[in-house]
Amino acid sequence: MSYVQGKTKSEILDEMAGTAQPGSQIHEQQKAGIIVRSTEDIQIALEKQTSATLKVNNALEQLNPRMESLENTFEESSRSSGKVAFALNLLTAALVLVGIAQVAITYTSKVQP
């Protein structure tokens, strides 16, 4: 395959357009060379795709525990928020009762001469 050795697909195609006669030995070598180069390009692209897919899978595997941890943190935060809201409601109720008591004391002290 001396007519295609060390040449790219583009170089082979350029030579095919200018020199080779369809059906000749040179033409057949050039067609085979293009097929081989195209197959190599596909193989390289598939290897790159496989590598990229593996990287994505690894990233997802590392992300899953982090997502679980984040979900646990949100659940814990939600429980804590509920407890804080309950405590604030109790405090507000106590302050309202103190206010009512203060108003009652003030009213009764002004009513009695």
* Percentage of the chain exceeding pLDDT 90: 62
Hey, where are the domains in the chain?
Answer: 9-111
Specify the pLDDT at position 47.
96
Specify the pLDDT at position 14.
81
**Residue 4: DSSP 8-state:** T
Specify the pLDDT at position 110.
82
The predicted model scores a pTM of 0.53
Structure tokens at 86: 């309950």
Give the Cα separation of 57 and 59 in Å (integer).
5
